[in-house]
């Protein structure tokens, strides 16, 4: 009999109205756990208590808040091995990536712990004599955090940590595909010196409890990472209550490989960017835009490297790429393989369901050649271990292909020319640009976000997060006559 993992509502662990099972995508015989699904009443209770708790938290001294965030961060880092294993077990990414993710999540908390002590305002003289102006940031109030399954701990942490740092209460609706990581993080937060109900975990399906959460007038701000259609629905629900909203959605990132590129470096960068996290990253390199002068040499090594990748159980040593997250995702990926072929692209390798010793959602990483940027496989986010090579004749053509997308999260260039790297950095229409590095892999102390359909609202992470999690107050003070 497996223990039911409960929701954390208004300071209590509550069983909910239903339960779901969570299975390991590397081995479907492995039951990760049973997880409660919150009711609408649970949600209301959490929202009501959050409002009161937020006032108490706002009144905490800054060192007390800093200690809470520091404790959470330190515990995540100290337990990265254990919690990273759990994460990999339920999500399917290789164990090194799972551990790395939990450690990084800890760093978000320690970074924002320090930010608790660095909240400086501005002041100015008024245009009126004898009047001073004080500009400061105040919490927005109750923040709804809606996070995806692909980075279940890191994405949630880069939202929860700044929300708490800047004085807000949090209601977290994690992805139903990765509830174990959510319960583990919540268990750490629940043991801290925080007001009852400051933080609630509300597990359940996005369409049901998630939708109720984003429609609630008791929510002051919504931060979301996930797909474009769900994001658009959330934005239209938010606007009904004029709720502040920030969204991080899909992408179609391109890596440009120039004629002067170090080919071995380009192949390493492309393989890491395309197949890390089984390609299930919003920053994945899913378009490889390659100069014709190096095309054949690059493709030969890319295909060889792709075929050599070891696909296997996320927790087994030597695994370089784990399974995809679910049967539905696997079917969608295989449908994109068929689509790419029917559009005229050549599948050089991979793109097949794999039968492994354990039953799971395995597929081989795939590379399309002879693809054009107008094909659907190069326009839609596949969220799969699939990448497409697009051959171009010049740097100018490469830049124009990179920018020819509805998305705009990350882009990269591999070149030895400072002039081209500089031009690319200034002219790529994405929120993140990389030079001689994969399009995936970002730091926590600087802004993260994109353009076009990739993002909506202000940037996440670093000091930029203050824009979303606070509201600005401008005070005018007349000192009066000192005599």
Closer CB to ligand NDP, residue 150 or residue 430?
A: 150
The Cα 451–Cα 402 span in angstroms is 13
Closer CB to ligand NDP, residue 75 or residue 381?
A: 381
Look up residue 460 and give its two tokens: 């996440």
| DSSP code string of 348-416 | EE---B---SS-S--B--EEEES--TTSGGGTS---SSEEEEEEESSHHHHHHHHH-SS--SEEEEE-S
For ligand NDP (CB under 6 A), the number of binding residues is 28
Closer CB to ligand NDP, residue 75 or residue 97?
A: 97
| Minimum distance, C-beta of residue 11 to ligand NDP, in the bound complex (Å) | 23
| Minimum distance, C-beta of residue 151 to ligand NDP, in the bound complex (Å) | 7
Closer CB to ligand NDP, residue 177 or residue 257?
A: 177
Sheet holding 455-456, edge to edge: 12-14, 7-9, 199-201, 169-173, 142-146, 221-225, 244-248, 455-456
Residue with tokens 């990265």: 80
Q: Please, are residues 172 and 137 in contact by the beta-carbon 8 Å criterion? A: no
The Cα 16–Cα 19 span in angstroms is 8
Among 43, 185, 201, 234, binds ligand NDP (CB under 6 A): 234
Among 80, 142, 175, 334, binds ligand NDP (CB under 6 A): 175
Closer CB to ligand NDP, residue 305 or residue 322?
A: 322
- Is 441 among the residues that bind ligand NDP (CB under 6 A)? no
- Is 245 among the residues that bind ligand NDP (CB under 6 A)? no
**Region binding ligand NDP by CB under 6 A among candidate stretches 58-66, 182-190, 243-251, 475-483:** 243-251
Among 282, 321, 337, 349, binds ligand NDP (CB under 6 A): 282
Closer CB to ligand NDP, residue 97 or residue 248?
A: 248
- Is 202 among the residues that bind ligand NDP (CB under 6 A)? no
Does 248 participate in catalysis according to the annotation? yes
**Region binding ligand NDP by CB under 6 A among candidate stretches 76-84, 173-181, 184-192, 301-309:** 173-181
Map residues 148-167 to x or -, x wherever contact with ligand NDP holds by CB under 6 A.
xxx-----------------
How far is CA 230 from its chain centroid? 15
The Cα 257–Cα 49 span in angstroms is 53
Q: Which of 445, 399, 449, 390 is nearest to 419 (CA)?
A: 399
- Is 205 among the residues that bind ligand NDP (CB under 6 A)? yes
Closer CB to ligand NDP, residue 158 or residue 166?
A: 158
Q: Coil, helix or strand for 128?
A: coil
The runs of H, that is alpha helices, within 116-226 are 154-165, 179-190, 211-215
- Is 74 among the residues that bind ligand NDP (CB under 6 A)? no
Residue with tokens 């223990």: 3
- Is 207 among the residues that bind ligand NDP (CB under 6 A)? yes
- Is 219 among the residues that bind ligand NDP (CB under 6 A)? no
Among candidate residues 90, 97, 115, 282, the one labeled active-site is 282
The Cα 444–Cα 462 span in angstroms is 6
The Cα 466–Cα 137 span in angstroms is 8
- Is 87 among the residues that bind ligand NDP (CB under 6 A)? no
Binding residues (CB under 6 A) for ligand NDP: these are 146-150, 173-177, 205-207, 210-211, 214, 225-227, 230, 233-234, 248-250, 282, 381, 383
Catalytically annotated residues? 248, 282
């Amino acid at each position: 009999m497996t223990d039911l993992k409960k929701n954390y509502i208004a300071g209590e662990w509550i069983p909910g109205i239903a339960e779901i099972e969570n299975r390991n995508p590397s081995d479907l015989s492995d039951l990760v756990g049973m997880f409660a699904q919150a009711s609408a009443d649970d949600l209301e209770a959490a929202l009501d208590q959050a409002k009161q708790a937020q006032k108490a938290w706002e009144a905490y001294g800054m060192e007390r808040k800093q200690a809470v965030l520091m404790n959470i961060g330190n515990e995540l880092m100290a337990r990265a091995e254990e919690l990273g294993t759990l994460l990999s077990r339920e999500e399917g990414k290789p164990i090194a990536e799972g551990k790395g993710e939990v450690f990084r999540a800890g760093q978000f908390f320690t970074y924002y712990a320090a930010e608790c002590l660095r909240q400086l305002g501005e002041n100015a003289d008024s245009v009126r004599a004898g009047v001073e102006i004080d500009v400061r940031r105040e919490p927005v109030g109750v923040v709804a955090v809606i996070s995806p399954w692909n980075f279940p701990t890191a994405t949630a942490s880069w939202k929860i940590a700044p929300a708490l740092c800047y004085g807000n209460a949090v209601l977290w609706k994690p992805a139903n595909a990765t509830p174990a990581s959510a319960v583990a993080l919540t268990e750490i937060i629940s043991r801290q010196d925080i007001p009852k109900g400051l933080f609630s975990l509300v597990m359940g399906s996005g369409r049901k409890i998630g939708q109720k959460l984003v429609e609630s007038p008791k929510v002051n701000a919504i931060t979301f990472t996930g797909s474009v259609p769900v994001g658009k629905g959330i934005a239209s629900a938010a606007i009904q209550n004029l709720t502040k909203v920030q969204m991080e959605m899909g992408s179609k990132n391109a890596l440009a490989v120039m004629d002067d590129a170090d080919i071995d470096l380009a192949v390493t960068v492309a393989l890491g960017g395309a197949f890390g996290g089984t390609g299930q990253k919003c920053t994945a390199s899913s378009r490889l835009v390659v100069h014709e002068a190096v095309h054949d040499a690059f493709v030969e090594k890319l295909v060889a490297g792709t075929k050599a990748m070891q696909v296997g159980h996320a927790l087994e040593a030597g695994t370089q790429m784990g399974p995809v997250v679910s049967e539905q995702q696997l079917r969608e990926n295989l449908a994109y393989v068929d689509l790419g072929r029917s559009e005229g692209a050549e599948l050089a390798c991979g793109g097949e369901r794999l039968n492994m010793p354990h039953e799971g959602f395995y597929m081989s990483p795939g590379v399309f050649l002879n693809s054009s940027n107008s094909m659907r496989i190069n326009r839609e986010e596949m969220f799969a271990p699939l990448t497409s090579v697009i051959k171009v004749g010049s740097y100018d053509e490469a830049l124009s292909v990179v920018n020819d997308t509805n998305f705009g999260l990350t882009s990269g260039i591999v070149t030895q020319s400072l002039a081209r790297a500089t031009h690319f950095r200034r002219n790529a229409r994405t929120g993140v640009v990389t030079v001689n590095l994969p399009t995936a892999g970002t730091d926590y102390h600087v802004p993260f976000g994109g353009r076009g359909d990739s993002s909506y609202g202000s940037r996440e992470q670093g000091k930029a997060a203050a824009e979303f999690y606070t509201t600005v107050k401008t005070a005018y003070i007349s000192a009066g006559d000192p005599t």
